[in-house]
Structure formats: C-alpha cells, structure tokens
Amino acid sequence: MKKRIVTLFLTLLMLLSLSAVAFAYSEGGMPLVTDAAGLLTEDENAALNELADELSAEYACEIIVVTVDSLDGWNVEEFTEAVYQQYGFGCGAEKDGVILLLSMEARDYDMAAYGYGNVAFTDYGKDALMDGVLPYLRENDWYGAFHEFIISCGSYLASARAGNPIDYYYTPAPPITPGKIILAVIIGLITALIVSGVQKGKMKSAILQTRADRYMKELNLEQREDNFLRKETHRVKRQTSSSSGGSRSGGGTTVRSSGFSHHSGKF
Amino acid sequence: MADQITNYQCPSCTGPLQFDPATGKLVCEYCGSAYSVEEIEQLYAKKDEQAAQNSAAAAGSPAPEGSPWSEAEAAGLKAYNCPSCGAELIFDATTAATSCPYCGNPTIVPGELSGALRPEWVIPFKLTKDEAIAALKKHYKKKPLLPKMFSNQNHLEEIKGVYAPFWLFDGDAAGDAKYDAKKVRHWTSGSYDVTETSYFECFRRGSLQFQRIPVDSSTKMPDEHMDAIEPYDYAEMKPFSTAYLPGYMAEKYDVSADDAEARAQKRAEQSLLDAMKGTVEGYSSVSVASQDVSFLRSGLHYALLPVWLLNTNWKGKSYLFSVNGQTGKLVGDLPIDKKRKWGWFFGVFFGVTAVVLAIAALL
C-alpha cells in the first residue's frame, strides 16, 4: 500500500513539475515549493519558489514546502519523511534541508528537518518558527504562511551559520504583558515601602523598651507539656508535566533514528 | 527642706572642684590638683553631716509668715545662697545638683540626696562633654532623610550632664501559657501530593528572676529616651557619694517606686512570655491560646545614672538628644525632609519597577 501511494504521489508531483518549468528545483529534481493541493496562484508559486531557491542556495540547506490533499491514512510525520526521501530533497551529501508539509484533508502540518536542518532548527526553534506561521495557516492565507516560513527559515539558517542556532537561550524577549507590569509595580511598591520604613526608622531612635531580657536570669521551666491532639491528611493529585504543555523548555534538537526531527500538529 | 547648699572646694586653693570623667577624680580647675572621691568624701564627711542636721531642723520648722519666696515655693521652687559668691539661686523642687549661674561653681543641695532620699548607687560619668557632642555629629551621618541644612544650621542650645534618678527593680515574673501548635509535612505518594497536619496543645509554666530593671524616676526625663539609652554597665556602679556630682546637674526622683513599677513589670512579663514561647520548638507554627503571668517585686534600689542631654534648635523647633553618659549610646528623633522622603520613595519605586520589568521581559 505504501508503495502504491508513493507512486501515486510521484505521478502527481511529476505532473506538477511539468507545468512549472520556471520553478526552482531541488538537487533531486523537484521544485522546492510543490503545491499539489493547489492552494497558490501561479504567480505566488513562482515567487515563493524563487525566494526558496535563493535562500536555500545562500545557506546550503534546502527550504521546502509541499502541500497535498490527503495523507491517505498515513501519519503526517512518516508521510513527510517519505516525501523527503523519495523525491531526493536535501542539499549536499548530508541531504541538508527543512520541509513544511500541509495536508488539507484534516488540516495536518509537519515541519521536519534533516541533516544540517537539525542543527539550525532546534525543537524550540521549530516551535517558535511555527508560532509565526500558524496564524496565517489558520486564516487560510497560504501565500502569507509559506512566505513567512521561507523568510523565517532563512533567518534561522543565518543564525545557525553564524554559530548561534536559535534555541531556548537565543530567543528574543517576549513582549511585556499587563500581568508583568502589575507584578513589577507591586514589587517596586513593596520595596519602596520597606526602604522608606527602614529610613524613617533610622530617624526615630527614642523608643520605649518592651522587654527586660538584659536583666533576667535563666528561665526556670516548671512544667512543660506537648499533647498531640489529632492528625489531618490531604491528598491532591499531582499535575503531570506533559499535561502542562511545557514543550518550550530545554535546548537542542530531538532527532529520531530516521535522521529527521519534527514539529507537527493541526492548523 | 535643705536651706544650705554645698560646693566642693579644692583643699589646696579653695577653687571649685569638678568631677573628671576621664580620670574618675575630682579636679581643681584653678590649680590643677586632683583628688580621689574617697579623699574628698572624708574631707567633707563632717560638712555633709552638718547639712543633713540643718535640713532635718529646717523641715521641722514652719515657713515664716509673709516669706518673700512663699509663692515660689508653692510653685515648687526653692531659694538658696551660693556658698561661693553669695548670689541667690532658685531651683525647682527636684534639682539636687547644678551650677551657680553667676560664678559657675558646681553646687550641691545635700538635703535632696540624703536620708531617705539618698541614692544607693551611682554610675559616674565616663563620657566627656566633647565626646557627647561628637556622638551627636556622628548621629547625623548616614541619614538620607535628614534635611541637608539640619546638621549645619541647627545650633546646640544647651548641653548638660545630668545624673538622672532611676529605680532599679529586682523581682520574679511567674506564670503559665497555653499554645496551639501545628506540624506540617509534605511528601508525594504515587501521583498524589500529600499534606499531613498534626495538631498539638502545649502548656508551659515557668518563672524568671530579674535583677535591677531600670526605670527612670524623673518626669523631666522622657521615658522613651531613658529606655532607649540602655544598657548601663552595672559592674561600674559605685556606692553613692555626692563627690561624683560636682560639675553636673542631679535630679531627685518625682515618680514614686510604686508608680514606676508598672513599666518594669510590663517588661519583665513580656520577657517571660517570650522566653516560654521560645521553648515551644519543633513546630511549623505556634499561636498563643491563653497566658497568665505576674510580676512580684523582691527588691528596690535607687540609683543615679549619667545622661548627657543635648538640646538643639532648628527652624524654631527644639530637638532633644540623650546620650548614655557611661557608654556613649545616643538617642533622639530627627526631623524628616519631606522632599527627600518622597524622592527616595519614588526613586526606589521606579527603579525597582524598571529592573523587575526588565528581568520579566527577559524571562
């Protein structure tokens, strides 16, 4: 079955490639932007291919976009891997590349990296990059989404080639939220009150004494009783870390045995 | 009431003797001779006795009709003649030692410090006038809210070394208290966070012995100041002698021991409560459920303790500072510059807010 679908897909792509001779092609002979689902106009397709080709060449790492109508029951990540390998995507001996695949049937997406792509697009990097692309996808702004994807991939590759792959530690500062402002104001207010209090305290030194510890001897404790009354136990189910959705933490890239790393979901 | 006053004169030149805090001796300002307190005490023992007798005799006789000072006496004032220059001196009822405003000689009213009114102990001055002034200058430092011109513009109106009368209370505080205490433990069991709270009821009964809790016994001395300049080192306490007084003012008490006891009692009881609560250990939280303590006086002493009082004036308002004449500890409230206060407040507020925002933006 797998072979059948891939063959079907191959035919689809061959047809497409024939109709788009002016497009940029991968080293494996495929256009970098392959819109099998027919989401883009011809002009858009041409413009995106040109952009992808230019940036891919500049950073020696292919930036690929593929759209299909259906996964035919495949898992989106396996499908992406199959497409990448079957059509010879990737640059150089290591087949360096990054791919965004959309399947329109169930609105699945997968961003996968291979070879040098795994260095440039860390788990966090993919997550952050897709945060910028997904809003366009949700609006069905296909050109906007792919343009954003290709441009972002270019800047991630630029960072990586400069020796600083975008990762947890290199993220730009998130915007200042109203919650943070309120927190900062409260901390500022409390600190100011404490400092004023201490300074005012320094100005007042004539204070009545409340204790006479200096003049006392040892405490003579005649009776000392500590009686246990009762015990109460409360059990609360723990929040597991996976349910809290903390996928943004940590650095580096999780690469599978297949050599791919993925970031997939629905749009 | 004493109608004779004394000043200690130099046995060599009859110049006035002053107590010198640096050497602990009585020094003649004119010929420079120095005498120990014991020497002067012996020399003047006879004179003191005489004064006491006269005072007793005077107390027995009614004031003469139409006396020119009867009005003043009714207002709590007394008149004496300075033994050095003969000038008429008017003291208020509680002054026991001062200086003659005309000839400047130190003067003592022995009747105010003898018999039942005689203090048991005295701690002699150790701190000189200059050291007290230096302590005040130091007090102005590191005070960001102090008006800038205060330390320069204010002027020392008056500085006086005063032997302040104190009651020293011995006694025992005893009582009991009940506490509600909690122990809280946290651990995880499987996929559950478990919190276990154990409740306890604690009971403590105890007593504490106190020795010589000082309470100032002069209404002229502000209570807050006299409390705040504690502690005095009782190891340097000496049996009372008027020979320590020349050169200083001395007051006699005008608050009775019974009236003053409430302050000692309150402090002793609080110390006992705190000490007992301190033994309720090993709990996450402790609260007092009930407490009942009392103080029983077992001894009373009357002592004169040395205080430098510095009165300054700034912008028409006077500021009082008290310095422990033995240890040099200075207390006194300072004026606050409102502009500086708000400047600091908003400076810290905006500064901290900006820093926290910057950190929050990076996280």
Q: Does B252 touch chain A (CB under 8 A)?
A: no
Question: Which residues have CB under 8 Å from B339's CB, separation 6+?
Answer: none
Tens digits of residue pLDDT in B222-272: 889 999 998 999 999 999 887 888 888 888 888 888 999 999 999 999 999
User: Chain A contacts of B189, Cβ < 8 Å?
Assistant: 235
- Asked whether residue B77 carries a pLDDT value surpassing 80, the answer given is no
- Asked whether residue B359 carries a pLDDT value surpassing 90, the answer given is no
Rounded CA separation B267/A209 (Å): 7
Q: Does B226 touch chain A (CB under 8 A)?
A: no
Tens digits of residue pLDDT in B209-219: 999 999 998 88
What stretch of H or E contains A261? strand A260-266
What average pLDDT does chain B have? 82
What average pLDDT does chain A have? 83
Question: Which residues have CB under 8 Å from A156's CB, separation 6+?
Answer: A120, A121, A125, A129, A165, A166
Contact B311, B194 (CB under 8 A): no
Q: Are strands A108-114 and B238-239 parallel, antiparallel or unpaired?
A: unpaired
For residue A91, the model assigns a pLDDT of: 86
Query: Which residue out of A203, A231, A241, A244 would a mutagenesis test of the B interface target, given it has the greatest number of B Cβ atoms within 10 Å?
Result: A203
Residue B172 three-state SS: strand
Rounded CA separation A199/B144 (Å): 7
The model's pTM is 0.59
Listed residue (B158, B163, B253, B274) closest to A209, CA to CA: B274
Burial class (CB in 10 A: 0-12, 13-18, 19+), A208: middle
Query: Which residue out of A170, A182, A187, A226 would a mutagenesis test of the B interface target, given it has the greatest number of B Cβ atoms within 10 Å?
Result: A226
Rounded CA separation B89/B127 (Å): 28
User: Chain A contacts of B296, Cβ < 8 Å?
Assistant: none
pLDDT band at residue A149, thresholds of 50, 70 and 90? very high
Taking the alpha carbons of A175, A181, A187, A191 in that order, is the dihedral positive or negative? positive
Tens digits of residue pLDDT in A4-26: 555 556 555 554 554 444 455 66
Listed residue (B345, B298, B25, B7) closest to B172, CA to CA: B298
Q: Does B211 touch chain A (CB under 8 A)?
A: yes
Our CA-based measurement puts residue A240 at a distance from the nearest CA of chain B, in whole angstroms, of 8
Nearest CB partner across the interface for A192, out of B145, B264, B345: B345
Say which range, A222-231, B131-140, B287-296, has the weakest mean pLDDT: B131-140
Cβ–Cβ of A217/B357 closer than 8 Å?
Answer: no
Rounded CA separation B10/B74 (Å): 36
Cβ–Cβ of B210/A184 closer than 8 Å?
Answer: no
Backbone dihedral angles phi then psi of residue B34, each to the nearest 5 degrees: -125, 140
Q: Does B322 touch chain A (CB under 8 A)?
A: yes
Rounded mean pLDDT of A87-100? Answer: 90
Question: Which residues have CB under 8 Å from A178's CB, separation 6+?
Answer: none
Rounded CA separation B52/A241 (Å): 90
For residue B181, the model assigns a pLDDT of: 94
Q: Are strands A62-68 and A97-103 parallel, antiparallel or unpaired?
A: parallel
Cβ–Cβ of A202/B142 closer than 8 Å?
Answer: yes
Q: Are strands A62-68 and A33-35 parallel, antiparallel or unpaired?
A: parallel
The two structure tokens encoding residue B30: 């004119």
Rounded mean pLDDT of B150-170? Answer: 84
Q: Does B186 touch chain A (CB under 8 A)?
A: no
Cis bond before residue B147 (omega within 30° of 0): no
**B119 HSE (CA, 13 A, CB side):** 32
Contact B250, A192 (CB under 8 A): no
Our CA-based measurement puts residue A188 at a distance from the nearest CA of chain B, in whole angstroms, of 5
Burial class (CB in 10 A: 0-12, 13-18, 19+), B69: middle
Q: Does B344 touch chain A (CB under 8 A)?
A: yes
Place of tokens 């303790």: B305
CA distances from residue B173 to A105, B68, B107, B210, B299 in whole angstroms, order as listed: 86, 51, 41, 8, 13
> B251-261 in b/e burial notation, b at 16+ Cβ within 10 A?
bbbebebeebb
* Nearest Cα residue in chain B from A203: B334
Rounded mean pLDDT of A178-200? Answer: 90
Nearest CB partner across the interface for A220, out of B206, B268, B350: B206
Cβ–Cβ of A212/B264 closer than 8 Å?
Answer: yes
For residue B101, the model assigns a pLDDT of: 67
- Asked whether residue B174 carries a pLDDT value surpassing 90, the answer given is yes
Alpha carbon B44 to chain centroid, angstroms: 29
Cβ-based neighbour number of residue B353 at 10 Å: 20
- Asked whether residue A67 carries a pLDDT value surpassing 90, the answer given is yes
Rounded mean pLDDT of A127-149? Answer: 93
Nearest CB partner across the interface for B194, out of A191, A210, A233: A233
For residue A73, the model assigns a pLDDT of: 85
User: Chain A contacts of B237, Cβ < 8 Å?
Assistant: none
- End-to-end, the C-alpha distance of chain B in Å comes to 80
Residue type at B113 in one-letter notation: L
Nearest CB partner across the interface for A173, out of B192, B275, B361: B361
Nearest CB partner across the interface for A192, out of B205, B279, B348: B348
Cβ–Cβ of A209/B227 closer than 8 Å?
Answer: yes
